Amino acid sequence: MQDVFKAFSLVGRIAVVTGANRGLGRAIAETLAAAGATVAAGARDPASLDETLGAIRAQGGTAVPLALDVREIDACSTALGELTGRLGRIDILVNNAGYEEVRPSLDVDEALWDRIVDTNLKGAFFCAQAAARSMAAGGHGGSIINLCSLTSYVGIPTAVAYGSSKTGLLGMTRALAAEWAPAGIRVNAIAPGYFRTDMTEVFYSDAAWETSMLAKIPQGRFGRMEDLSGAVLFLAGDASAYVTGHCIPIDGGYLASV
C-alpha cells in the first residue's frame, strides 16, 4: 500500500497554476503544494497572489509568485522559460485562468468574444506549448491539466463564447495528448460543475436559478473546493501515468443525468 500512496506524492515536482489568485485556481494551487510540489502561482497582478501564497506557506508548503497574463503570448513563453531556468524544470501545468461574461448571443461583440476565447483557449494552448518545451527539453515528461467545463459537453444559453472556448479546450486536450505522448507528456482535463466563485457569483444571486440547478444535480449540492483535490492529484502525479487525453467531470452527477 505504501507504493500506492507514493504515486500521489508530488514531492520534488515543480507546478505552474495559472489564475491562482482566487477561486478554483487558488484551491488547486493549495492542493498541489499540500502534496509536496513547489507551486509557481500565476496571475496578471502578482500582488493579488498574497492570500494564495500565504495560505500555502502557512501549511508548510512552498510557493512563488509568477506574473502571467495568458493573453500575452510572448510574455507567457518568456515567463515560463525564465521559471524553468530559475527552478530547473516544469513538471505540472494547470491551465486554470479563465474569463466568462453572461450575455445573450445576439449581443456578443468581437471584443467580448476575443477576450473569452483568447483567455480560455488561445492562452491555454500557448502556456501548454511553453510548458511542453520545458518538459521535452528536460527529458522527464510531465502532466498538463486543462480546466474544461460542463459547457465542453452541453449547450448553456448566454454562454456561447465561453462554451465555444471550453469545447475547443477539450478538443485541444485530446490532440495534444496524442501528439505529445511519445515525449512522456500527458495532457488531461477536469470539468468542474457548479462551484461558487467570484466569476459565477452572478448565478448564485438568483434564488430561483439556485433552486432549479440543485434539482438537476443528483448529489443535491454545489461543488466545494475540496471536491477538486482528488482528481487534480490523480492527474498531476504518477497515479495516472497511463492516463492521457481524458477529461474528468467533477459535477455531482450532472452530466450523467442530462
The phi, psi pair for 146, rounded to 5°, reads -95, 145
**pLDDT for 123-148, tens place per residue?**
999 999 999 999 999 899 999 999 99
Please state the rounded mean pLDDT for residues 211-220: 95
Euclidean distance between CA atoms 151 and 48, whole angstroms: 28
3-class DSSP assignment, residue 15? strand
Q: Tell me which residue range forms the domain holding 225.
A: 2-257
What does the pLDDT read at residue 4?
82
pLDDT at 81 over 60: yes
- pTM listed for this prediction: 0.96
195 pLDDT tier (thresholds 50, 70, 90): very high
pLDDT at 2 over 70: no
CATH code, domain carrying 252: 3.40.50.720
Residues 238, 60: Cα–Cα separation, whole Å = 23
Active site amino acids: 162
Q: Quote the mean pLDDT of the chain.
A: 96
Task: Please count the other Cβ atoms lying within 10 Å of the Cβ belonging to residue 16.
Answer: 31
Mean pLDDT of 57-84: 96
pLDDT tens track for 85-121: 999 999 999 999 999 999 999 999 999 999 999 999 9
* Total domains present in the chain: 1
Residues 100 and 177: their CA atoms lie apart, in Å, by: 26
* Residue range 30-69, pLDDT digits in tens: 999 999 999 999 999 999 999 999 999 999 999 999 999 9
pLDDT of residue 26 exceeding 60, the answer is yes
Q: Which phi and psi (to 5°) does residue 66 adopt?
A: -140, 115
β-bridge mates for residue 92, sequence order: 15, 143
Q: How far apart are CA 155 and CA 153, in angstroms?
A: 7
Grid coordinates belonging to 5: 500512496
pLDDT at res. 236: 98
pLDDT tens figures, 146-191: 999 999 999 999 999 999 999 999 999 999 999 999 999 999 999 9
